[in-house]
């Protein structure tokens, strides 16, 4: 499972266990990085853990298994009159929204109330 901390992302992206999955197309298999990630995740002290994450990230950059070409900004459109989109509702309230790898689309948490629609949807006709 993913959660918004570096260890979750480092494990799913660069640990040998994820090699060849949709999350790790680099096929990186490095026992040293695996051990570093596991050690960092197991560290209870936050300051120590974050320092270890930093060292892991430096090692990954040194190896360069990934080409980071861009950061894609995404805008979402939805019918706020009858759809409750939890991640976007948090943004409206000024809360930090930091979903991991598309989990802002966790549809189980969406709510749809068709009867609240202000106007019925009309498909575009050219």
Domain ranges of the chain: 6-63, 83-116
pLDDT number for residue 3: 72
Tell me what pLDDT residue 102 has.
63
Q: DSSP string covering 31-94, please?
A: HHHHHHHHHHHH--SHHHHHHHHHHHHHHHHHH--S-------------TTTEE-HHHHHHHTT
Tell me the per-residue pLDDT of 22-55, one tens digit each, with 9 for 90 and over: 888 889 999 999 999 999 999 999 999 999 999 9
State residue 14's pLDDT score: 94
pLDDT in tens, 68-98: 787 777 777 788 888 888 888 888 899 877 6
The answer to whether residue 13 scores a pLDDT higher than 80 is yes
């Amino acid at each position: 499972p993913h959660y918004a901390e570096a260890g979750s992302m480092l494990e799913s992206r660069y640990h040998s266990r994820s090699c060849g999955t949709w999350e790790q197309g680099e096929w990186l298999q490095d026992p040293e990085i695996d051990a570093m990630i596991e050690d960092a995740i197991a560290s209870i002290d936050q300051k120590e853990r974050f320092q270890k994450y930093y060292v892991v990230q430096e090692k990954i950059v040194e190896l360069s298994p990934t080409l980071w070409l861009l950061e894609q900004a995404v805008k979402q459109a939805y019918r706020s009159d009858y759809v409750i989109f939890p991640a976007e509702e948090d943004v409206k309230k000024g809360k930090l929204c930091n979903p991991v790898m598309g989990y802002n689309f966790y549809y189980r948490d969406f709510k749809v109330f068709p009867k609240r629609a202000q106007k019925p949807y009309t498909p575009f006709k050219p």
